[in-house]
Amino acid sequence: MKNISIIYWSGTGNTEKMALSVADGAKETGVEVQLKNVSEATIEDIKSSDAIALGCPSMGSEQLEEMEMEPFIDSISGEVNGKKVGLFGSYGWGDGQWMRDWVERMEEYGAEIIGEGVIANEEPGEDEIEQCQELGKDLTK
């Protein structure tokens, strides 16, 4: 394992906090970590990374954010086969349906999903921060 990319969308900062924690966990293992807002990410970031973590809150109605994250995920559908992928994101009032759907979708693209997708109700608490750090570590194994 040499490098990991963490790519996220966050409107009010909750998912961004999770992204920073995934980065902290991964950095502990000594790998090179690239953290990017999805607006700056390209398909090359996926191609050149040994593992990726993707973060997005539940938006719309149990969906990925539709202007940037949804098209990005669509664009990488052919690039994640056999790749280690971790998912995380914040939600407000649902029960995590968007995350279950997202995990299933990435598995259909052939990704090796690490964990189950870390979810946090609004701002991540201590438990969720820890889960994100663990995800970062697990992605580097």
Which spans of this chain sit near ligand FMN (rule: CB under 6 A)?
A: 10-15, 57-62, 90-94, 122
Looking at the Cβ atoms of 5 and 10, the one nearer to ligand FMN is 10
Rounded least distance, CB 121 to ligand FMN, Å: 8
Show the tokens assigned to 13. Answer: 């900062």
Q: Where are the beta strands (DSSP E) in 17-134?
A: 32-37, 51-55, 84-91, 112-113, 118-121
Instruction: Name the helix (H) or strand (E) containing 75.
Output: helix 69-75
28, containing H or E segment: helix 14-28
Smallest gap from residue 48 Cβ to ligand FMN (A): 26
Taking the complex as a whole, how short is the minimal distance between the CB of residue 41 and ligand FMN, in angstroms? 16
| Nearer CB in complex with ligand FMN: 18/46 | 18
The answer to whether 15 touches 124, Cβ cutoff 8 Å, is no
Q: Which is nearer to ligand FMN, 81 or 97 (CB)?
A: 97
When CB distances to ligand FMN are compared, the closest residue is: 92
C-alpha distances in Å from residue 94, one per residue of 58, 62, 116, 128: 8, 7, 17, 17
Q: How far is the CB of 3 from ligand FMN (least distance, A)?
A: 24
On whether the CB atoms of residues 123 and 133 are closer than 8 A, the answer is no
For ligand FMN, the closer of residues 43 and 67 by Cβ is 67
